Every structure is written in C-alpha cells, then in structure tokens.
Structure 1
Amino acid sequence: MHTVETVLLVLMLGALTGIAARYLRAIPLPLIQIALGALLSWPQGGLHIAFDPELFLLLFIPPLLFADGWRIPKREFFALWQPILRLALGLVLFTVLGLGWLIHWMIPEMPLTVAFALAAVVSPTDAVAVSAITRGLGMPAKTMHLLEGESLLNDASGLVALKFAVAATLTGLFSWTGVASEFLWIALGGLGAGALLGWGFARARAAVTRRVGDVAATQMVLLLVLLPFAAYIVGERIGVSGILAAVAAGITTNFADLERSEFVSERIQTEGTWAMIESAFNGAIFLLLGLQLPSIVQTIGEASHHGAWALAGYVAAISCALLLLRWIWLSLAVQGSLLKAHLAGKMAVRPSWRLTLATTLAGIRGAVTLAGALSVPLMLDERAPFPARDLLVFLAAGTILFTLVVGSIGLPLVLRRLPLPAEPPEAREERQARLAACRAAMAGLAPDPAEHEGADPQWLAQYREAAGRLTQDYRKRIDLLDDGDDPSAPATPEAQADTPEAVHQRRLRYVMELELRLKCTRIERDTLYAERHMHRINDESLRSLVAELDLAEVSLRKRLKVARQAAGLPPGG
C-alpha cells in the first residue's frame, strides 16, 4: 500500500476507534487500537508497513511531548520536582541495572550489554496510555501530574541508557565517567536548546503580533505546530536530546502564553488544533504498534529456538520484575518525598500502600519503548548481526502489551478503593478565582469621575442603568457561587413606545451594555491571569476558565458589531 494511503487509513482508523471507545467503556482505547492494528496486518494479505524508527520518533513523539510540556501544570511540576527526578533518573538507572542482570541470568544467550539495552528500552513510561485508562476513575490529580512529569523526562534518560548499551555492544567499551558526562551534555543541552528555541519563538511572535494583533492567529498557530519538530531536529543535529528539546520548548512556550491574555482568536485556534493533533497522533501510535505485532511474532518464531510458552514466560517475568522494581523504588526512594509534599499541602491525598500500588501499576510502557526497540541496529558490523535483536524487539513489544493489560485491569480496581478528598484543591481554587474575577469586574464598572466629567446626562444615566444591571448579575454569581449564568445574554429591553427616538435610545443602551459586558469579560480574564501569576490557580484551571471567557468574548464582539451598525455607530468606535 502506498505510504500516503497508509497514513490516511491509520488516521481514519484512529478517529473511528476513538468513537468506538465511547461505546466500549470497559476496554481502554489503546488496547482497542492495538487489537485493530494486529487484526489488519495478521492475514497473509493484510496491511504491512515498513517501520522506520527514526521517522517514527521525528513525526509522532515531538508534538506529543511538546503538548505534554505545554499543558502540564507548571506549579505542580516544579513543586514535585524531587520525586519526579527520582523517578525519571533514579528509577531508570535502578531498572537498567536490576532488570539487565535479571534478563542476562534468565536468558544466558543474550549478552549482558544487550540485556541492559532491553532494560533501557522498557524503562520509559507512557503517561498517554495511563490517562486513557484512568480517565474518569478518580486518579488523584497530583499523582497524575507526578506520572506526567516522570514520562516527560524518563524518555530521554531511557533512550540515553539505550544508546550507551548499544555502543558498548558494538565496541565492547564502557566508561561510567563517559556515561555521566555524556548524559549531562545530552540532557542539559537538550533542555537548553529547546528552551532557547521556545524563547526565540515567543519573542518573535510577540514582535509580530504587537504590530498586526490577532489577524495573524492562523499563521502563528501553524508555526507553533512546527516548533516541536524544529526543536527535535535542532537537538538531534547538535548531538543532544531532541526529546527533551521538544519538552523544554513546550514548557517555555506555555510560560510565554501567560503574557498573551488578549489574543483570543489565537488561543481558541491553538486549543482546537492541539486537541486534534494529540487525538490523531495518539491513535496512530497504538495502531502502528498493533500493525507491527504480527511481523514481530512471526520473525521471533522463525529465528528463535525458544518455544511459545517460554517466550510468554519471559515476557511475564520481565514485566513483573519491572513492576516489582518500580514498587520497591517508590516505597524506598519516593515515598518520603510524597509524604513531605502532602504535609506541605502540595498533595491532597496522603501516600498509602494503595496509592503506591496505583502508581506502580501506572508504569505502563508505550510508543517510546517500541521506537527504541526497533531503533537497535540490525548488524554489529558488515558480517555479524546484532546479537538477540529479534528477541529484544519481541520482549519489548510483549512488555508493552503486558503492562497495558495489567494496568487496564488493576488500576480501576485500586482507584475505586482509594480514599479521595471531599473537594479537590483545584475545584476550590477555581471557585476562588471566579470570585476574584467577578469582584474585579464589579470594580471596573464603577464610573471614573475624571473620565465621565462633563458627560451628557442622558448618556450617563444610560451608563449607570447598564452598569447597575451588570452589577446585579455579578452579585448573584458571587452570592450563589454559580458560573452557569451567561454573561453575554442581553437584558430584556423595557417596554417603550416604538417611536424612532425610543428605538434609537434602546439601541444605544444595548450597545453600551454590550460594551460594558465586553470590558468586564476582559477584566475577568486579566484577573485570572494575575491569579495564575501569583500561583493561586494552576495552568489547567486557567485554561478551563479562560476558555469560557474567550467564547463569551467572541460572541460579544459579533453581537456588538451588529448592534453598533443598527444604532448607526462606527464599527470599532
């Protein structure tokens, strides 16, 4: 099948499986997509795709990691930096060493360096699969933030460990000092390159939009979509982690977005575009994994002398050891940091054995593991094949499936028994932010004596009437803590005689009320951004609340344009 046709088919199937998952809620979406991909490629005449790991990493991983870095709440990410680093760096090293020795002991024909390579391949976790499985099951928000932060960083540490294990296999040389210095250069260089590119893009975007405003929103969103690819390519070209470069670019861009509260059209388009990209690319990744499974199974069946039951036993043993090592590391090295975070108010749920078990089962492997396994070279040199490569790829794919199935079954069972707080901290913060925005908008309605000095008495009376109605609306919202009222709904005009002058005055009052509502909407949004700058709400709450105001402002702008035309006023006056 032609490459373009294959891509279109994979994207279409990703969308269809997303719809099907709404009706098959008991089965996580990743498992549906993997199963469908395997069914499509299993028959002799099925769909077979030549998988290029480097192309896969370039096309799918950078935008997804960029989106994760852009969306992850920065307050929680930096508040939990200690347990995140211990998982992303310490756990990866612990896994590579412990699991590598176990694999070599269990499969003696696999050289130790290749066993370390396999352990490095299966060390990165996949927060995308975890969020797909735990959606609506009550995974504590801070725990999910911890898992997302771990997944953002351990992709790079796992792939760096893989690189050195492969190099040691090819050359027979290994140096701990060389590994440490190379890792620092790759990790810090990747973060620095991505942050620099993100900062440069933010400065250039600010310079352009200062001149043209929101007119270039579509072009800016397109450039933003291309930014993770640029960060990844630049990182790889200069010899650092392209994955971390994409993550750092996403985090930097998010910080820059906090200064762009007035660009409504760009923000709405950006949210919609990234939602579509994440859905399409996530679906494509798991479908491609399913499409590769039959060929991986067929290859290992032809090349290996191990029986089917022995291979299944290796997969189960490696996966169980992987989860056991994760549980040990969480219990010994991370539990203390989580308890400190709880006592400091940074985690609502107190660490317990159930929470530790849920975090252990959430160590699901995914796209990066598959790409890393397939990136292992075919040959040691011109004559000798890379030892046990087919077995390595099969065991990595089996580990992905095993952890997905165990997580799909175990996580819902554990999470249902996990005690949850009466009210999530984010919900309380959102309510306080709404109250602050309403109070700021009410304060903005107060007439400025200097501005209204010498104003026409009739205009001033209309202004006070419109401001009074809006103030009542805001007081109701404050009293009831209810955000369900539509701030853009026009007040019902009072019954008046339909003389031309009365109609004109009614239209002028309507224009004034819409202008005041628009002013209040902008004050509310500015207040929400101020709340975020003071760390009273996180990025998720800000994004949710601002989205409501953006939609209200778009509606108000259109209605105000029509109302000004009906009142005979200039469009932008």
Structure 2
Amino acid sequence: MDAIEVVLAMLLAVVASAFIVRVMPRAPLPLVQIGLGALIAAKSSHGVDLEPELFFLTFLPPLLFLDGWRIPKSGLLRDKGTILELALGLVVFTVVGAGFLIHWLIPAMPLPVAFALAAIVSPTDPVAVSAIAARAPIPKRLMHILEGESLLNDASGLVCFRFAVAAALTGHFSLGSAALTFLWLACGGLAAGIAITLLVTGIQRWLTARFGEPAGSPILVNLLLPFGAYLGAEHLHASGILAAVAAGVTMSYVELSGSALAATRIQRAAVWDTVQFALNGIMFVLLGEQLPDIFHGARASIAQGGHANPWWLAAYALAISAGLLVLRFCWVWASLRLSIFKQHMRGQPRLRIKPRLLLAMSLAGVRGTITLAGVLTLPLALPGGAPFPARDLTVFLASAVILISLLAASIVLPHLLKDMHFPHEPAEQQAEDKARREAATAAIIAVETAQVELMPRTADAQAWPQAAARVIALYRHRLHEADGDGENDSGSRAALRELADAEQALRLAALAAERDAIFRLARHDLLPDDVTRKLVREIDLVEARYR
C-alpha cells in the first residue's frame, strides 16, 4: 500500500470498528481498533513513518481542548480538592514510584527514560472510562471526579514527560531549574490559552455583529483555536499542552454568552464529535499498525539486557500495570482517609469507605489516547545522532499498559459494581427543574412582549393573540410539569412523566412519517433537492430536541 492508501484504510478501520462493537458490545472499542490496525500492518508493504512533533501537534491540542470544553464545571469546582489530589499529587507519586520500579525491573533502561515512561502512563482517559461506564453503574459524582482528574492529569503528566525526555536528551537534571521552568510553563501556558481564546472569540463576535455570520466560518475558527493556543504558547516557550486545556475551559465560559447561532451550535457539536471519534480511533488503529515493528524493537532492547525470551515483555508489562494499580490504590485510600479526618475535625458525620468502591476507583484509572499520543512523540535519536535509548521498549510497554488497563476495567468493573445501589442526586434534578421553570417563565414574558410589538405590523390582528395563546400554553404545560417537588405530588409527577414519554414517542413517530413523505416526493422528482434538504433539516432539528 502507498502512504495515502494506508491512511484511507485507517479511516475505514475506524468506521468499521464502530459497527463491530455494535455486533460485539462487550468488546472494548480501542481493542477492536488496535486489532484492525494490526490487520492493516499485515496487508501493507510498508508502515506509516511517524514524525513525533507533527504527530503531537496533530492529535493532542484538539483532544485536550475538547476535554477542557466539555468537562462538567460544577463537579470540577465541587470536588476540586479531591481532583487536585489525584491530578497533581497522584501524578508526582506515580512518576517517582513507578519510575524507580521500572528502572529496578529493567536496569538496561536509563533512569530518565524510566521516569518518562512512568510520566506518560500517569494520565487517565475519560473517554475509555465513559465507554466502560455504559456497562457499569458508576455514580455520577465519581464520573465527574474521574473526568476532572483526567483533564488536569493530562497536562501534569505530559509536562512531567517532557522534563524526563529533556533529562534523557541532555543527560542532566536540576530540581531548582525544573521548578522555575515548570512555573513559567504552567503560568505562561494557562495565560496564553485564556488570552488567545478571548481575543479570537472577541474578534469573531465583533465581525459577526458588523457583517453577519458566514456559513461554516465559526466552526472552522473553533477547530483552529486549539492549534492557535498551542502554537502561541510554544512560541513563548510556555506549555502548549496547558494552553490547549485552558483554551477549552475558557471556551466553555465564552459559550455562556449565547452569542453563537443555534444552527452553528448544532453543526459544531456534530463536527467536534466526528473529530473526537476520528482522532481517538486513528490513534489506536495507528498503534495496531505500528505494533509489529515496536514489538521487534522491544525484543531487541531486552535481548541486550540478557533476556532473549519475548515472554519477559509480558512479565514487565504486567508488573508495571500491577505497580500502577497498587500506587493508585494507596493514594486513593490515603486521600479518602484524609477527607474523612477533615470531616471529623469539622464535626461532620464520618463516612465509611466502601472497599468495592475504593477498588473501582483504582481500576477506573484507565490509560488511553493521551498516553498513546505522548509516548509516540519520543525522539527518534539523541542530539549526537545515536538512537534514543530503549525507545521501542518504552513505546511497547506504554501500549501494553493501555491494553491491560482497558481489559482489566472492562472485565472487572461491571462485576465489581454489579448490584451496588447508589443514592440519587436530588440537587442536580432540583437545579434542572428550577432552570426549566425560569426558562419557561422568561419565554412566556417574551411571547407577551413580542405579541404587543409585532401585532401592529400585520393586517390580521387576530392571528397574533391566537399564536401567542398556543405558544404560552406550551410553556405553561412545561411549568406545570416542572412543579411539585414534595412527596405528596409524586403520583402527579409520575403521571406527567408518563404523559411526556407518550408525547415524545408520538412526536418521533410523526416526525419519521414526515421525513419519509418528503423523501418519497424527492425520489419521484416531485420536490427540488434544495427544498428537500431544507425540510429534512427542519425535521432533524425538531427530532434532536425530542431525543
């Protein structure tokens, strides 16, 4: 295969993997994609040559930006203490503990390279955890903590990884110099990400207000924003990784202004979902495609240390994975004990640590795309031209840790959390009900105001009161549906929920019939293509609201 054919085959493999997991729902998506990548490697005459810096720039900024944008901010702020302990303290604890463990297991691997491997396997992957959570009853608050941890430990783990790689390249490391450098990397990266996002969105808003919004332009600007933040920070010798994360978090607050058009938001969400699915999928397919060469290189590395048997690779991978699990378990247990002690000191009731939930929290630290993208950016050679020490072995072990963590979580977590009952979070439901009530009230006031303003402009004055009555009736129904928080009203609320479910099913059936009728007219050349697309899009938007 030529290079372009290999790339197209990888994209097709990503598409095929989505259908394969539909047929085999118990198979983790990343493992299916790795297998398809290995199949491509078996059929292609030459593999894909990776340029580490280009690979890093292509894959990491958009994924980190999207993590920052979509992370639930309320959970992030509520559990900020626990999240920071996991995202910063656990990363440093993992880098030091696992780094010495890896160097002890594999003396042929230099200590800086061992620390680099430990740093790159420290970040967790929320996408993998979410996929597993679809089959395991992970409580929402725990998911929020895991998502917040993954957002911040992506940045902290990658920064530690770069320090370790720099030490391996230069041969020396100064803690004082590293502390000052880290301070500039963190502050400069965060400031660059925030400033660039505010500047770009401010200019975009001014241009839109003055000249209108060109179709597709806001989405393209949004796609380029993480790359701009990353490159801008790197130009200032700050952390592009933190800049991409900060840009995503800032974008989530910019969105609260509501300046983007509704159609733009819908299209942009679809584009970003596609980008996320494609980038995550391509990375795992690429891992499968590179795995045979990485395996041969890893065998050569351990052979130099006197272990010719390839089963040593499996032993190393299992030992490192077990070490990471033990380190995470110890840190999570200590963190929970500290939280309980703080509650006791404040006079609050002491909570009991559930062993199964503690083990689930440890197993949920699944490694994924960030680990894979980071380890593939290891330099190919030292400054003097010599090969980077144990590069293939490092890539192989990081890839093996990803596979083992995915398998362990996929197999053990659903059984571990089976039959566990978690309390509902009434505060979240109350906040949603309150938002619905206030939105419906504001809508009724807006309809009444608009009726008075627009009615004199038309000849038929009766049309506006009738239309306003129909719209207001809809919102009053929503107000009635959102009312009644007490226990005495639970029967009424259940009836209203059943009514809403029935209405949703009927509306979806009606919309499907509308769409089929329009397509039937178009197939018989009774409707122009542009009118067909317009009507189908209107139906799709309404259906998206009900789904």
TM-score normalised to structure 2 length: 0.80
Q: Deviations over 1:449-494 (max 9, x none)?
A: 98699x69995554434333333333333334555658xx9xxxxx
CA separation of 1:217/1:77 partners in 2, compared to 1, >3 Å: closer, same or farther? farther
Equivalent AA in structure 2 for residue 468 of structure 1: A
Q: Does 1:551 align with 2:538?
A: no
Q: Is the 8 A contact 1:62 1:229 kept in 2?
A: yes
Pairing of 1:115-126 with structure 2 (within 5 A): 115-126=114-125
Provide the rounded CA distance (Å) in 2 between the counterparts of 1:294 and 1:449: 69
SS of corresponding position for 1:48: coil
RMSD: 3.3
Q: Tell me which of 304, 309, 312 is aligned to 1:310.
A: 312
Residue in 2 that maps onto 1:364: 366
SS at 1:304 equivalent: helix
Distance 1:212 1:553, change over 3 A: farther
Query: Residues 378 and 391 of structure 2 are in contact (CA less than 8 Å); yes or no, is this contact kept in structure 1?
Result: yes
Alignment check: 8 A CA contact 2:56 2:377 kept: no
Deviations 1:181-205 (A, max 9, x none): 1111112211111111111111011
Cα deviation code 1:15-71 (max 9, x no counterpart): 22112212211111111111211222146x556222222222111111111111111
In structure 2, the partner of 1:41 is 41
Mapping for residues 91-490 of structure 1, pairs under 5 Å: 91-213=90-212, 215-260=213-258, 263-305=261-303, 306=307, 307-333=309-335, 336-337=338-339, 352-382=354-384, 384-422=386-424, 425-446=427-448, 461-481=462-482
Q: 1:107-141: CA deviations, max 9, x gaps?
A: 22323232222211211222222222222533222
* Residues 1:177 and 1:369: Cα distance change in structure 2 (over 3 Å): same
Give ranges in structure 1 of 5+ residues lacking alignment.
490-547, 556-573
The answer as to whether partners of 1:217 and 1:265 remain within 8 angstroms in 2 is no
Letter in 1 for 2:150: S
Instruction: Name the count of aligned residue pairs.
Output: 487
Equivalent position of 1:534 in the other structure: none
AA in 1 matched with 2:438: A
CA deviations 1:306-357 (Å, max 9, x no partner) are: 222222111101001001101111111356459989xx9xxxx996333322
Deviation of 1:79 after TM superposition, in Å, equals 2.5
Aligned counterparts of 2:415 and 2:168: Cα–Cα separation in 1 = 42
Seen in structure 2, the aligned counterparts of structure 1 residues 4 and 337 have a Cα distance that, compared at 3 Å, is farther
1:558 paired residue number: none
Change (3 A) 1:427 1:160: same
The offset of 1:409, in angstroms, is: 1.0
User: Residues 292 and 550 of structure 1: is their aligned pair in 2 closer, same or farther, counting only changes over 3 Å?
Assistant: same
Structure 2 CA distance for aligned equivalents of residues 110 and 262 of structure 1: 52
CA contact (8 A) 2:135 2:414 kept: no
1:12 matched to 2:42? The reply is no
Q: Is the 8 A contact 1:156 1:187 kept in 2?
A: no
- The amino acid across from 1:298 in the alignment is H
1:413-471: per-residue Cα shift (whole Å, max 9, x none)? 22334322245654443333223322332344446998699x69995554434333333
Q: Alpha-carbon deviation of 1:410?
A: 1.7
Counterpart of 1:106, as a letter, is L
Counterpart amino acid of 1:476? H
Distance in 1 (alpha carbons) for counterparts of 2:394 and 2:221 = 38
Query: Does 215-224 or 167-176 show the bigger shift?
Result: 167-176
Query: 1:198 corresponds to which letter in structure 2?
Result: T
Give the aligned partner of residue 527 of structure 2.
none
Q: Which runs of 5+ in 2 are unaligned?
A: 483-496, 508-537
Partner of 1:52: 51
Distance 1:60 1:120 in 2: 19
Distance 1:291 1:459 in 2: 68
Tell me, in whole angstroms, the C-alpha distance in 1 between the residues paired with 2:413 and 2:341: 21
Does the aligned pair in 1 maintain the 2:298–2:390 contact within 8 Å? Answer: no
Shift of 1:406: 0.8
Summarize the Cα distance change of 1:451–1:338 in structure 2 as closer, same or farther, 3 Å threshold: farther
User: What is the CA–CA distance in structure 1 between the aligned matches of 2:459 and 2:339, rounded to whole Å?
Assistant: 64
Are the aligned partners of 1:376 and 1:389 in contact in 2 as well (CA < 8 Å)? yes
Q: Residue 67 and residue 371 in structure 1: after superposition, are their counterparts in 2 closer, same or farther (change >3 A)?
A: closer
Which amino acid in the other structure matches residue 541 of structure 2?
A: L
TM-superposition CA deviations, 1:277-322 (whole Å, max 9, x none): 1111111111111111111112222343222222211110100100
Q: CA 1:448–1:362 in 2, change beyond 3 Å: closer, same or farther?
A: closer
Q: Which moved more, 1:234-243 or 1:199-208?
A: 234-243
**Superposed displacement of residue 178, structure 1:** 1.4
Amino acid across the alignment from 2:277: S
Conserved in 2, the CA contact under 8 Å of 1:86 and 1:334? no
CA contact (8 A) 1:339 1:350 kept: no
Measured at CA, do residues 136 and 467 of structure 1 come closer, stay the same or move farther in structure 2, by a change above 3 Å?
A: farther
- Distance in 2, matches of 1:386 and 1:457, equals 77
Instruction: Report what 1:545 is aligned to.
Output: none
Give the distance between the partners of 1:195 and 1:27, measured in 2 at CA. Answer: 39
Q: Counterpart of 2:216 in 1: which secondary structure?
A: helix
Identify the range of structure 1 (380-389 vs 128-137) with the bigger mean alpha-carbon deviation. Answer: 380-389
| CA distances 1:496-532 after superposition (whole Å, capped 9, x unpaired) | xxxxxxxxxxxxxxxxxxxxxxxxxxxxxxxxxxxxx
Letter in 2 for 1:279: F
Counterparts of 1:9 and 1:553 in 2: how far apart (Å)?
A: 34
Larger deviation, residues 89-98 vs 371-380:
371-380
What secondary structure does 1:280 align onto? helix
User: For residues 199 and 383 of structure 1, do their structure 2 counterparts lie closer, same or farther at Cα, with a shift above 3 Å needed?
Assistant: closer
Alignment-mate amino acid for residue 220 of structure 2: L
TM-score of the aligned structures, taking structure 1 as reference length: 0.77
Q: Cα gap change, 1:263/1:467 in structure 2, threshold over 3 Å: closer, same or farther?
A: same
- Aligned AA for 2:274? M
Instruction: Give the whole-Å Cα distance in 2 for the aligned partners of 1:227 and 1:25.
Output: 35
- Structure 1 residues 447, 256: CA separation in 2 closer, same or farther (over 3 Å shift)? closer
Q: Secondary structure at the match of 1:50?
A: coil
Q: Aligned equivalents of 2:90 and 2:288: distance in 1? A: 28
| One-letter identity of the residue aligned with 1:89 | L
Shift of 1:78: 2.5
Which moved further from structure 2: 134-143 or 95-104? Answer: 134-143
How far apart are the structure 2 equivalents of 1:467 and 1:42?
A: 66
CA contact (8 A) 2:9 2:40 kept: no
In 2, the alpha carbon distance for the partners of 1:185 and 1:456 equals 60
Task: Indicate if the aligned counterparts of 1:40 and 1:46 stay in contact, CA closer than 8 A.
Answer: no
Q: Is the deviation greater in 7-16 or in 328-337?
A: 328-337
Kept after mapping to 1: 8 A contact 2:6/2:40: no
